[in-house]
Amino acid sequence: MTAAGIAALVFTVVLLVTTGYFIMGGLPLLTLQHDTPVDQRFIRRFFDIYYKAAVFAAVGASFSYALWGRFYFAMGAAALALLALAMRRRVIPAMEQLGAEIQQRNDTAVQAFRRVHSAALGVNLLQLVALVWGLTKVSL
């Protein structure tokens, strides 16, 4: 196996582990009240770190797969990177805005924050399923 192939597999494992960890770590955070600045900041930062790690791993995987000549995998990894960037651009600002509304004692903002949190986890679960399915259906 070439160096590009090894790098592609390493980046893919990093992406799988990161996404799995995020889902498993994000679910218990739904039990938080979401009504304090500490809860909101922690959750927002947790999501922000995940999205940055996912983009890094997906871009690395995409370039590595392209160098290795596995263009379907490269396109799939690039799509995952774009999805993580898009989610980061939507989720983080939404959480910041809702966090400010929660501080003003807006009770509906807590429910909206939970919905954003849940929806982001759902998208990431679908991403993980698509990633695993793609790896099992497309042969190396």
Domain range summary for the chain, segments of one domain joined by +: 3-137
Q: pTM (2 decimals)?
A: 0.88
Interval 63-95: pLDDT, tens: 999 999 999 899 999 999 999 999 999 999 999
| 4-42 core/surface letters (b: 16 or more CB in 10 A; e: else) | bbebbbebbebbbebbeebbeebeeeeebebeeeebbee
Q: What is the mean pLDDT of residues 106-122?
A: 91
Q: What is the mean pLDDT of residues 83-110?
A: 91
